[in-house]
Structure 1
Amino acid sequence: MVSRHRGLGVLSPSASRLEVWGDPIAHSRSPQLHAAAYEVLGFDWTYGRRQVNEATFGSELAGLDDIWRGLSLTMPLKGVAFAAASSLDRRAELTGAVNTLLLDPAGARGFNTDVGGIVRSLADDGVTHVPRARIVGAGATATSAMVALSELGARDVDVVARRPEAVVPLAALGDRIGITVTTMSFAASVHDQVPLTIATLPGDAPVPDAAADALARSGGFLLDVVYGHWPTALSAGWERVGGTARSGLGMLLHQALLQIRIFQHGDADTPLDRETEALETMRRVLEEPATA
C-alpha cells in the first residue's frame, strides 16, 4: 500500500452501503454478483449502481456519509478515483487506475482488483505462467493487463495498437516492472508465436477480419476482457482459426470477489469465510441472462 495519509480509520459497524459508479452503468452486472455473495456470506450490506461521470465524481464522493462502506468504479472513473484516493495498493500505484474505493474515515483507500481478476481468471483455464504475451489495445485496461502479465512471469510483451504514441506509457510501465514492450500495428505481418493474448479493446471496436485472423493464428489463448459485446471482432477471428477465446466474465467474477475481500478485511489478500461457496454462487449468477 502506498500511503498518502497517516494512519487508517476504523469503519463504522453501520457502514453497509456500496455502489458501482460509471457512465454508462445500466449494463453493469456487479449488483447481481455482489448481492448474491453478500447473501451467502451473511453480510447485511446493500449494493446499487449510480451513473456518475468524471465531472460529477468529486461532488458525488463528497456527498457520502459514514453509512457508506465502499465503491466499485468502472469507466471512465478509474483515473479520477486514483487521484481521489488517500492511499493506494501496489497494483493501483503501478497502473494509475483504481476500481475499488474503501471509504475509510481517514480517507478513501484505492485498490485495483482488475489485475488480480485477470490473473485468477487465467488460472481457471490453467494459464499460470507465460514467458511472453501480447496485448491488443493501449487504453486504461491495458495497464492492468501489463501488470497481470508481469505477475505471470512475462518479460516480453507485444502491444498491438492503432496509434504508436498510445503505447509510450505502457512501454514506460514495462520498464518499471521488467518487461520489454514491442509496439505493433494492426496492419503488421504477425509471425512470432505467443502463448497468450489479452484483448483490451472496447467490445464494439472494429478489427478487419484479416488482422483478427492473423493475430489469432499466432496469439495462443485469448482472454478478451469484454463481456457485454460477445463475440467481439477478435474472438470471432479466434473462432475462425480454431483457437480458444474467453470473454471477460471470469475477470469480472474474480475482481468482484477481491473487492468483497477489501470491503470486509481492508485488503485483497485475506480470504472470506465461505469464500468458495460465495464464488460458486457468483459464477452461477453469471451463467444467467443479464438483467437491468
Structure 2
Amino acid sequence: MTTRTVAEARRAAVLGSPIAHSLSPVLHRAAYRELGLGSWSYDRFEVDEATLPSFVDGLGVSWAGLSLTMPLKRAVIPLLDEVTATAASVEAVNTVVFTSDGRRVGDNTDIPGMIAAMRERGVEKVESAAVLGAGATASSALAALSLICTGPVTAYVRSAARAQEMRGWGERLGVDVHTADWEDAAGAFDAPLVIATTPAGTTDALAAAVPGAPGTLFDVLYEPWPTPLATAWRSRGGAVVGGLDLLVHQAVLQVEQMTGRTPAPLAAMREAGERALASR
C-alpha cells in the first residue's frame, strides 16, 4: 500500500451500528499524538448496511482509511477494489485503506491482532483449543488458531446450523473442528486455550465451573471488564487475555496501514484505552 505524506491533513474513522461505545477513536487519536500527526483526525459514524455504500462513495481525497465493526465487516466487501488473503479467508474486512491512486483495499487485522495478543501473554503454540460461540469473531478465532494450534478445536454452539457453519469454516481454514452443544460448554475448560467470542453476559453462568489450574482464557469482551468468567479464571490461577488486548493489537496494525508509520505506539494506545474504560 502506498505511504502518504504524513504532513497532510488526513481523516479516518470507525463505522458501525451501534457505534457510540467504540474505543477506536481513543486508540487511534492516542497513536496520532504519539506519532506527531497533529493534522490527522479520527471519528466515529453510525452507519448500517443500507447506508454504507453512499457513505463510502461520498468520501473525499483527504480520507486515509476506515475501521469497520458489526454489521459492516462483510457488507463492505463488494465496495472494495482489493481484499487481502487474510480478510478473504474469513470473508470479513475490518480495515479499509484508501491508496494514493484512489483504490479501496480491505484487510482483516483481527486475526493477526489475536495472534499478537496471545503471543504477548506467552501463548505461541497449543496442542488443542476450544471456542465458545459461532459468530464472525469465532471464524476469526479459527483463522488465528489455524496458525498456532497443532491439534483439534472444539466449538461450543447453540444450534445444529451453527455447528455446521463452524465445521465449514474449519474445512476452509484447515482446522480440525469438532462441535459440541452449548449446554456442555464447561467441558471447554479442559483445553489449554479457550477463546470466548460470545456477547456480554453469555458466559457468566459458566464462571462457577472453572476448574483449578486452568490454561489460558482469551475473552474478547472489553466492556464490561473483567467478565465473571475472566475473574473466576484468574482466581483459579489461569492466564487471561482480554478484549482490550485484542482491540489494541488490531488497532496498532490499522494505524500502521493507514499512516504508513511503523511501529505504532502500542503502550500509549493501551494506556489511553485503559483510561477511557476506567472513566466509564
Residue number in structure 2 paired with 1:268: none
**How many residue pairs align between the two structures?**
275
**C-alpha contact 1:155 1:178 (8 A) present in aligned 2:** no
Q: Measure how far apart 1:219 and its partner are.
A: 6.0
Matches within 5 A, 1:13-92: 14=8, 16-43=10-37, 44-92=39-87
Moved more, 159-168 or 233-242: 233-242
Residue number in structure 2 paired with 1:260: 255
Distance change in 2, residues 1:119/1:216 (3 Å): farther
- Letter paired with 1:168: Q
- Letter paired with 1:284: E
**C-alpha contact 1:162 1:186 (8 A) present in aligned 2:** yes
Moved more, 248-257 or 225-234: 225-234
Identity of aligned residues (%): 37
Moved more, 169-178 or 49-58: 169-178
Q: Measure how far apart 1:122 and its partner are.
A: 0.6
Residue number in structure 1 paired with 2:164: 168
Matched, 1:283 2:270: yes
Matched, 1:139 2:135: yes
Residue number in structure 2 paired with 1:178: 174
Cα distance in structure 2, aligned partners of 1:158 and 1:141: 15
Distance change in 2, residues 1:208/1:249 (3 Å): closer
TM-score, normalised to structure 1's length? 0.85
Cα distance in structure 1, aligned partners of 2:36 and 2:129: 40
Cα distance in structure 2, aligned partners of 1:94 and 1:80: 15
Runs of 4+ in 1 over 4 A off after TM superposition: 8-15, 215-219, 239-242
Q: Measure how far apart 1:65 and its partner are.
A: 1.2
Q: Deviations over 1:205-263 (max 9, x none)?
A: 3x463x44446669621111110122335324425644333321011111000001111
Q: Measure how far apart 1:36 and its partner are.
A: 1.1
Matched, 1:220 2:215: yes
Q: Measure how far apart 1:11 and its partner are.
A: 6.0
**C-alpha contact 2:126 2:148 (8 A) present in aligned 1:** yes
Cα distance in structure 1, aligned partners of 2:80 and 2:211: 39
Q: Measure how far apart 1:126 and its partner are.
A: 0.4
Matched, 1:200 2:194: no
Q: Deviations over 1:87-115 (max 9, x none)?
A: 11121001111000012344311000001
Distance change in 2, residues 1:180/1:219 (3 Å): farther
Distance change in 2, residues 1:128/1:251 (3 Å): same
**C-alpha contact 1:203 1:230 (8 A) present in aligned 2:** no
